Amino acid sequence: MSRAISRALRALAAAASPPPRVLATQDVVAVASRLRRRRRCHRTVAGSASRSRGLSTARDDDDDETSAAPVPVLIVGGGPVGLTLSYLLSRAGVDSTLIERRADGATTHPQAHFVNNRTMEIFRHVSGLERVVTRSQPPLKHWRKFLYKTQMVGGVELGRVDHFAGGGGGGREGEGEGEGEEEEEENRDAASPTSVAHFGQHRLEPELLDRAIAAHPRGIRGFAHGTECVGATCDDDGVTATVRDATSPRMAGAKKNDDEKNAQRERTLRASYLVAADGASSRTRERLGVGLRGTPEMQHLVNVHFRSRKLARALREDDGGDGAAMLYFVFNPSVVAVVVAHDVRGDGEFVAQVPYFPPTQSAEEDFGMEACVGLARAAAGGAAAGENENENDSFDDVDVRSVRAWTMSAEVADEFVAGRGRAFLCGDAAHRFPPAGGFGMNTGIQDAHNLAWKLAVAVASAGDGGSGAPSARNLLRSYHAERRPVAVGNTRLSVSNFRQVLKIPTALGLPPDAAAALTEATAALPSFAAKAALNAGLALGRAQCGDLLLTDNAIGNARRATVKRMCEEGGGKTLRLQFPTEDLGFVYGPGSEHAATGDWARRDRGQSDDGLGTAATLVPPGTLVVGGRLPHAWLSLHLGPNDDRKSAKHISSLDLLELSVLDGAIGGDDAHAAWATQELRSTPGVVFTLIKTLRDDEEPRSHSMRLTLANDTIQRLRDAAPAGVSIRLAIVAPTASIARGVERYYYEGGKRPSDDRFVIAVDEKGAWTRAAGGADAFVRPDGHVAWIGARADERSDDDGDEGVDAGSVEVVAALRRELGMY
C-alpha cells in the first residue's frame, strides 16, 4: 500500500473517530505551551474556575457554595500524587477539583528524582509522559554511580558503586544515545517495558500539571491554585471542605487568629469524596482524626538547592570524564553531606542534604544564604574547603536557589480510608519515610493508581442501590487493605536503606548518634553555649575526615579499606539504587496469601516489632499471580491482513490494558486497524481486560472453540459489570497467521464483540507464553491480576467441547470480588 493511501486512510479513520479527550504527545506539548502562557494569569483563571464550580476564595463573597452542586472528588494538594490522581480520574471519566495552596502551580524545589519502574509504567499511559521523561534523561554515565568522596571534584575517592554494572535495571541512555525500537529489542527480556529514571520532581510536576489540565473535562477550571483547605467534615453522603484563598495578604488590621475576619475569607465546598494528598505534614489527615504509627523525627535535615556551571563542567571532566554521579556522599572537615546531582549539564543543578540538630540549631539561624553557599562550595571541593583558592576551582558561581528544612520520619497512617468511608489518604499524607531508596513519591503515585479506578466505579454507581450494584464501601475499603501493606513494606525498606547509608560514616569514625547525644547533653546550657558546644563537637567529628583519614596511618588506612570493601562487596553493604522486587512484585488481596504459601520466598517484614503492621507479600517481578502486577512481555499489535510486520507496533502485555502508549494513528488499512486507531484515542474509562492466550499446537477448531467461549465469557462479564465498568477482550496469538485467523473469525464472521474494547496481539518471540505459561488472565484497570486460567500445558484440545467455558464462572466471580460485590 502506498504511503499516500495509508495517510488518507489514517486521516479518514481519525475523522471518523470521536474527538480525542486525551491528547497525543504532540498535542499535549502544544496545549502545554498555551497553558504556560495562561498560567501567568493562573490565579485569575483559578479564581474564575472556583466561581463556576462552587469553590470559593476570599473574593467570591456573594455565593453560597454550600448549596452548589457537589463535585464528585475533591483533591487537596497538587504535588505529584494529587496531580497524578487528577489525571487518572479524568481518564476514568470522573470530574474532580484539585485545590493547591501554592499559587504558582508546581514546586521549584527538587526533592524526588528517582522514578522507579512501576511509576514509569503508569506514566506510559499518562499522555506520553514516560517517553518525555525517558528522552530527557541525562546520559546514563552521569547518574549510574554513587560516589563516596572527600569532595565532589578531585579529592580522595573512598568508594564507588555502579548501579548498572552488569546491565541491571534497564537504565537507558538519554538524548540521542540509542533510543527507540533498538532499545526495546535490547530490553526485550527486562522485567518492565520501561526503565527507571533520574528526573527531578520540580521538572515532573509541571509535566503532570499540563497533562492533568489537558485531560480534565473542565480543563483548567478543575484546578484552584492559591487555595488552601482549612477544614473538612464527613457525613454519610459526602464531605464538606472549608477552603480559603491562600494568596491574599492578611486584611489590614487583622490579628493572628482573628476568627471573625478569617471566617469571612472562608467558603465551603461539597464533594462526594475527598482525597488528602497534602503531603507529609497533612493537616487534612489530622482533621480527619487519623493517627500515624512508627518513628517520628529520625533526623532533621536542610536541603540546599543550588546551581553551578563550573561545578557541572568540573564533574564532567573529573576523573578522566568519569566524575559524574547521581549521589555524592561527601566527608571532609568542612562538611558532611549527601549531594544529589540532578543535572551535570549546562548550569548544573544540585541539592545538598545536611543534617542539623534542633533545638540547639535552627534552619533559619544556622543556614542563611552565606552559610549555604559556603557549604555547597565546601562539598564541591572549592575554596571553602580551604585550599587552592583560585578562580577555576573555587566554584564561585554557586547560586543557591532555595533552602528547605525537613524532618525524616518512618510513619504510616493507621487508616488510609477515613471519614465514614468518604475520605482517603494518598501519598506522603498516608506514609512518610526516609528518602533512601527513592520510594516516597513512587509509592504515592502508585496509591493514586490504585485509588482512581475505585473512585470512578463508586462515583458511577452512586445512587444505584440495586442488587447488582457494587458496594462502594467494600470497594473503596480495599484501597486501605491493598495499599497500607505496601506502604508498610516500603517504610521498612527505606529505614533499612537509611541504616545502610549510616554504615559508611560509622566506618569513617562518625557515629550517627553522637551529634544527637551531644545536643541532648548540652540542652540545659544557655542557647549560645549549647550552640558553641555542638558546633565544636560537630567540627571535631568532621576532623576525622581530614589528615587522620587521608594520610598513611593505621586508623586512616583501616577506615579507607573498610569503606572501599563495603562498596565493592555490594550485597546490601551500601545503599542500592534499584529494588525490582519491591518496585514490581507487591501482591494485593487474596493472591497475597497464596503467594506467601507458594513457591516464592515470603519477604515478610511484617514480623518486625516497629508496630507498623503487616507488610505486603512480594513475589519476583514477572510472576503471574492473582493480586500481582501483570507480567510484562513484548508483543506486536496485530494490525490487519495487510500488516507487513514493518508497521508492527511493539507493545507490552501491560499495554493490552490501555493502548494510549501509541501516538497517533495505528496504520494498516482495514477495519481492525481503524478500530485500533479509535481505541487508542478514546478515553479509557474503567476497563477490566480478559486476556485469552492461544497455543500454536492447538487445532484451528480448538482456536475457534476457545474464541466462541471467550465471547461467551465476555458477554457474561458485560452482563455482570456495573455502570461505568467496561470489559476488554485481548487475544494473544502465537503467530501472525493465527492472528489473521482470529481477525477473520471476528470480522468476517461478524462475531466481533459489540463494544470497542478489543485487541489482538502476536506473541512472536514467545515472551508472553514464557511469562504467563500460556494461561488466560483477567486483569484489573490498574494492571493487577484478578484471575488466572489454566496454563496452556494443562489444557487439552477438547477443553472447549462442553460448550461452557469452565473459567467463565470464576472470572465473573473475580470481577464481582474486585468490585466489592459480595
Ligand X SMILES: Cc1cc2nc3c(=O)[nH]c(=O)nc-3n(C[C@H](O)[C@H](O)[C@H](O)COP(=O)(O)OP(=O)(O)OC[C@H]3O[C@@H](n4cnc5c(N)ncnc54)[C@H](O)[C@@H]3O)c2cc1C
Q: Give the footprint of ligand X on this chain (CB under 6 A).
A: 76-82, 99-102, 111-114, 201, 228-229, 277-280, 283, 303, 353, 406, 427-428, 435, 438-442, 444
Please tell me whether residue 607 adopts helix, strand or coil conformation: helix
Nearest-approach distance from CB 437 to ligand X, in angstroms: 8
Beta carbon of residue 486, minimum distance to ligand X (angstroms, whole number): 13
Identify which of residues 115 and 648 has a Cβ nearer to ligand X in the complex: 115
Which one, 226 or 589, has the nearer CB to ligand X? 226
Closest approach of ligand X to the CB of residue 646, in Å: 39
Of 293, 285, 216, which is closest to residue 35 (Cα–Cα)?
216
**All three cell numbers of 142:** 552521569
Our measurement of the distance from residue 411's CA atom to the centroid of its chain's CA atoms, rounded to an integer in Å, reads 19
**In terms of CB distance, is 77 or 591 closer to ligand X?**
77
* Residue closer to ligand X (CB basis): 437 or 537: 437
Q: What does the alpha-carbon distance between residue 372 and residue 307 come to, in Å, rounded to a whole number?
A: 12
Closer by beta carbon to ligand X, 220 or else 761 = 220
Task: State in angstroms the smallest separation of the CB of 280 from ligand X.
Answer: 6
Q: Which residues pair with 725 in a beta bridge?
A: 686
Q: How many residues does the chain have?
A: 822
**CA 671 to CA 663: how far, in whole Å?**
19
DSSP symbol at 629: B
* Nearer to ligand X among residue 544 and residue 574 (C-beta): 574
The amino acid occupying position 82 is G
Considering the complex, what minimum distance in angstroms separates the CB of residue 304 from ligand X?
A: 11
Give me the least distance between CB of 301 and ligand X, in Å please.
7
The C-alpha atoms of residue 758 and residue 774 are separated, in whole angstroms, by 19
Task: Please state, in angstroms and rounded to a whole number, the distance separating the CA atoms of residues 429 and 279.
Answer: 5
How far is CA 41 from each of CA 79, 225, 375, rounded to the nearest angstrom?
Answer: 20, 11, 37
Q: CB nearest ligand X: which residue? A: 79
In angstroms, what CA-CA distances link 557 with 136, 155, 330?
42, 16, 18
Closest C-alpha to 723, from 762, 754, 686? 686
Nearest to ligand X of 274, 721 (CB atom) = 274
Instruction: Pick the closer one to ligand X by CB: 113 or 163.
Output: 113
DSSP string, 284-316: HHHHTT--EEEEEEEEEEEEEEEE-HHHHHHHH
The strand pair at 114-115 and 197-198 is best described as antiparallel
Please, which residue, 427 or 789, has the CB nearer to ligand X?
427
**Closer residue to ligand X in complex, CB, 442/682:** 442
Do 745 and 776 touch, CB atoms closer than 8 A?
Answer: no
CB of 294 to ligand X, least distance (A): 15
Q: Please, what is the minimum distance in Å from the beta carbon of residue 145 to ligand X?
A: 16
* Angle made by CA atoms 280, 281, 286, in degrees to the nearest 5: 115
Query: In this structure, which amino acid lies at residue 548?
Result: L
Inter-residue contact 325 to 532 (CB < 8 Å): no
C-alpha to C-alpha distance for 750 and 755, rounded to whole angstroms: 13
Q: Give the C-alpha distances (Å, rounded to integers) separating 158 from 164, 350, 475, 562.
A: 19, 21, 52, 9
Supply the minimum distance, in Å, between the C-beta of residue 198 and ligand X.
Answer: 9
Nearer CB in complex with ligand X: 441/814: 441
Q: What element of type H or E holds 711?
A: helix 700-720
Q: Cβ 48 to ligand X, closest distance in Å?
A: 19
Q: Which is nearer to ligand X, 227 or 636 (CB)?
A: 227
Q: How far is the CB of 351 from ligand X (least distance, A)?
A: 7
Smallest separation (angstroms) from ligand X to the CB of 116: 7
Report whether 220 contacts 46 (CB < 8 A). yes
Instruction: Say which residues have a Cβ less than 8 Å from residue 28's Cβ, sequence separation at least 6.
Output: 127, 128, 210, 211, 214
User: Is the CB of residue 181 less than 8 Å from the CB of residue 651?
Assistant: no
